[in-house]
Each structure stands twice: as structure tokens, then as C-alpha cells.
């Protein structure tokens, strides 16, 4: 019987059951598939309440995305217009402008929410 996860032991049990279900080979429209979907939602809800993840700083988001794309940090100066601007942004001496945020979002695909956060 599926129910709201209220304790750490229930959370651990839910994770174990989800793992068991993921090891099985069942049809998408089966009872097991429905159970896995619901269990995943319950686990996600519990984790959001008990293990919140802070969004990254704008600088961390930029560096991470460049690394993901396999691009050098120097690519940032091409996007923002000047090498000195790149250095000031990455050192935290200069804040991102709205125009910079738009460019980074469009060109690198960084979520705007990550770019407008606190430094």
C-alpha cells in the first residue's frame, strides 16, 4: 500500500522498493509501472522537504555549463565581449547585466534562474 513518506525509515524502504521495481522487466501499463511512478513522486516530495538543494551561484553555473560543453573559459569572453569582463565576472568583481544573462541563457542554455541568483 502506497502512502506519504513521513520518516527516514519509510524513506529508506521506499528507495529499496523503487530499486527492486527498477530491476524488473515489466510492461509500461502494468501495476508495477504505476507503483514505480507513484513511489518516485512520493520519494521526490520527501527529498524536497528533507534534503533541499540550493541553486548554484551564477559563477558556478557558468563554469559548470562550460565544462559540460567542453568549452574553455575563454569562450566566455567571446560571449560577453571582452576578456577583462570575463575575468571580472568569474572573480565576482562584476555582476551579470540583464543583457549578459540573456546571452548566456541563449548561447549556453544556462537557466535564467541560475544566472539571477545571489553571488
- In a 13 Å sphere around the CA of 97, the CA atoms on its Cβ side amount to 8
Residue 62: per-residue pLDDT: 95
107 belongs to a structural domain: yes
**Residue whose C-alpha cell is 530491476:** 23
Q: What is the CATH number of the domain that holds 111?
A: 1.10.260.40
Task: Please tell me the predicted confidence (pLDDT) of residue 106.
Answer: 96
Q: Is there a single domain that holds both residue 62 and residue 111? A: yes
Query: Which three-class secondary structure state does DSSP give residue 31?
Result: helix
Same domain, 44 and 63: no
69 and 39 in a single domain? The answer is no
The string of pLDDT tens digits covering residues 68-93 is 999 999 889 888 888 888 899 999 89
Q: How many domains does the chain have?
A: 2
Closest CA to 17 of 27, 3, 28: 3
Question: Nine-digit cell at 103?
Answer: 546571452
The confidence score (pLDDT) of residue 82 equals 80
DSSP code for 54: P
Contact between residue 55 and residue 113 where contact means Cβ atoms under 8 Å apart? yes
* Inside any domain, residue 21: yes
64 and 45 within one domain: no
Predicted confidence (pLDDT) per residue in 26-80, tens digit: 888 899 999 999 999 999 999 999 999 888 899 999 999 999 999 999 889 888 8
Question: What range defines the domain where residue 107 resides?
Answer: 58-115
E strand or H helix at 116, and its extent? none
Instruction: Say if residue 44 is in the same domain as residue 78.
Output: no
DSSP string covering 55-97:
PPPHHHHHHHHHHHHT--TTHHHHHHS-HHHHHHHHHTSSPPP
Does 1 score more than 80 pLDDT?
Answer: no
Amino acid at each position: 500500500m502506497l502512502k506519504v513518506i513521513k520518516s527516514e525509515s519509510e524513506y529508506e524502504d521506499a528507495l529499496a522498493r523503487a530499486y527492486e521495481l527498477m530491476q524488473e522487466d515489466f510492461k509500461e501499463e502494468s501495476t508495477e509501472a504505476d507503483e514505480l511512478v507513484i513511489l518516485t513522486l512520493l520519494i521526490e516530495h520527501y527529498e524536497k522537504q528533507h534534503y533541499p538543494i540550493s541553486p548554484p551561484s551564477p559563477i558556478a553555473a557558468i563554469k559548470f555549463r562550460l565544462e559540460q560543453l567542453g568549452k574553455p573559459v575563454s569562450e566566455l569572453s567571446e560571449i560577453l565581449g571582452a576578456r577583462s569582463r570575463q575575468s571580472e565576472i568569474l572573480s565576482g568583481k562584476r555582476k551579470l547585466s540583464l543583457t549578459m544573462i540573456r546571452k548566456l541563457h541563449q548561447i549556453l542554455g544556462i537557466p535564467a534562474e541560475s544566472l539571477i541568483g545571489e553571488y
